[in-house]
Amino acid sequence: MTFLKSRTFIFLTLCCVQLTAAAQIKSPVRFGKIAPADFDLSAGKYDSGAAAVVIADIGNSSFEGNNKGWFSLEFHHFKRIKILNRSGFDAATVEIPLYSSGNSVERIDGLKAVTYNLENGKVVEARLDDKSVFTDKMSKHWIQKKFTFPALKEGSIIEYSYTESSDFLFNLQPWEFQSEYPCLWSEYEVDMPDFFRYVTLSQGFLPYDMNTSSSRNVKFNITEPGGAEKDEKYSFDDNVVDHRWIMKNIPAMKAEGYTTTIDNYLSRIEFQLSGYSFPHMAYQDKMGNWAMVSEALLKDDDFGADLSHNNGWLDEDMKTITRGASSHLEKAQKIYAYVRDNFTCTAHTGLYAASPLKTVFKNRNGNEAELNLLLTAMLDHEGIPSDPVILSTRSHGFTHQLYPLLTRFNYVICRARIDSSVRYLDASEPWLGFGHLPERCYNGHARIINKETPAPVYFEADSVTEGKVTTVFISNQGKGSLSGSFQSIPGYFESCDVREKVKAKGEMEFFKTVQAAYSGETVIANTHIDSLKIADKPVGIAYDFTVKIDSSEDLFYFNPLTTESLKENPFKAAERKYPVEMPYAMDETYVFNMEIPEGYVVDEIPKSAKVLFNDDEGFFEYLVAKGDDVIQLRTRMKLNKANFKPEDYSVLRDFFGYVVKKESEQIVFKKKK
For position 47, what pLDDT does the model report? 87
User: Is the whole-model pTM more than 0.75?
Assistant: yes
> What is d(CA 291, CA 197) in angstroms, rounded to the nearest whole number?
21
Partners of residue 386 on adjacent β-strands: 416
| Ordered domains of the chain (ranges, CATH) | 3-18+48-213+240-284 (2.60.40.3140), 290-459 (3.10.620.30), 465-671 (2.60.120.1130)
Q: What residues are paired with 76 via a beta bridge? A: 60, 163
CA distances 114 to 80, 124, 152, Å, are: 10, 10, 10
**Given this model, what pLDDT does residue 310 score?**
85
What is the pLDDT at residue 17?
Answer: 39
pLDDT attached to residue 308: 86
| Distance between CA atoms of residues 273 and 405, nearest Å | 10
185 CB neighbour count, 10 Å cutoff = 21
Angle at 223 between CA 217 and CA 227, to 5 degrees: 170
Query: Cα 140–146–147 angle (5° rounding)?
Result: 170
Query: Distance (Å, rounded) from C-alpha 659 to C-alpha 238?
Result: 64
Q: What's the CA gap between 293 and 402, in Å, rounded?
A: 12
In this predicted structure, what is the pLDDT of residue 43?
Answer: 83
| Furthest C-alpha separation in the chain | 112
- pLDDT (tens digit per residue) in 597-627: 999 999 999 999 999 999 899 999 999 999 9
| The predicted structure's pLDDT at residue 23 | 46
User: Crossing angle, helix 328-342 and helix 368-381, to 10 degrees?
Assistant: 150
- Tell which residue, 671, 614, 611, 667, has the closest CA to residue 643: 614
Closest by CA position to 150, among listed 173, 126, 125: 126
* Pair 187, 22: CB distance under 8 Å: no
CA distance 631 to 669: 12
Give me the pLDDT at residue 24, please: 60
Integer Cα distance of 232 and 230 in angstroms: 6
Q: How far apart are CA 548 and CA 322, in angstroms?
A: 55
Q: How far apart are the first and last CA of the chain?
A: 68
> Which parts of the chain register pLDDT below 50?
1-23
Q: Which among 84, 56, 53 has a CA at the least distance from the CA of 153?
A: 84
